[in-house]
Amino acid sequence: MTGIFYGSTTGTTELVARNIARALGIPDADLHNVADTPADETERYDLLLLGSPTWGCGELQDDWYGFLEALKERNLQGKRVALFGCGDSASYPDTFCDALGLIYEALLPTGCTFIGACDPDGCDATASRLCREGRFVGLAVDESDPDRSEARTAAWCERIREGH
């Protein structure tokens, strides 16, 4: 069973989360805003899709701080985790989608297995925390390149569907 957990201040990441849910056939009941969801809600799911925009110079969206602190204390052994988020590579190339890198780093010790890594696919912002060994740790929706977002999201959803 798949649960989507997202933080969104302006509504953009929520829209991405809803588009992912629609593409993967995930019902609204399994779509959770971390602002009003306890971290223990993740226990119901085998696959966690976690989404956050990056704010300022590489920061998490505000609602993620408390949720992530609680989530990283959980035993996520055996759970698969896929990350998605929004950023602006033109304005912030060195910290593009760093929020995903922060979540990735925080959850590494929990025993989860990360899936959904992506090739940078024409994005030059590979100096951020998002990039590991030449790949993005998750889906990076680039607000400065909206024409590619739909195709990138569809390809990422297919990877998730296939378990990669």
Residue type, 50: L
* Predicted pLDDT of residue 128: 73
Q: Which CATH number fits domain 2-161: 3.10.20.340, 2.20.25.90, 3.40.50.360, 3.20.190.10?
A: 3.40.50.360
Q: pLDDT tens digit string along 25-46?
A: 999 999 999 999 999 999 999 9
- Per-residue pLDDT band for 156 (boundaries 50, 70, 90) equals very high
* Predicted pLDDT of residue 127: 66
pTM: 0.94
User: How confident is the prediction for the chain on average, in pLDDT?
Assistant: 91
Write out the E strands in 97-162: 113-115, 131-132, 135-136, 138-142
Q: Are strands 31-33 and 2-6 parallel, antiparallel or unpaired?
A: parallel
* Predicted pLDDT of residue 133: 80
Q: pLDDT tens digit string along 57-97?
A: 888 999 999 999 999 999 899 999 999 999 888 888 888 88
Cβ density class 44-64: b for 16+ within 10 Å, e for less: ebebbbbbbbbbeebbbbebb
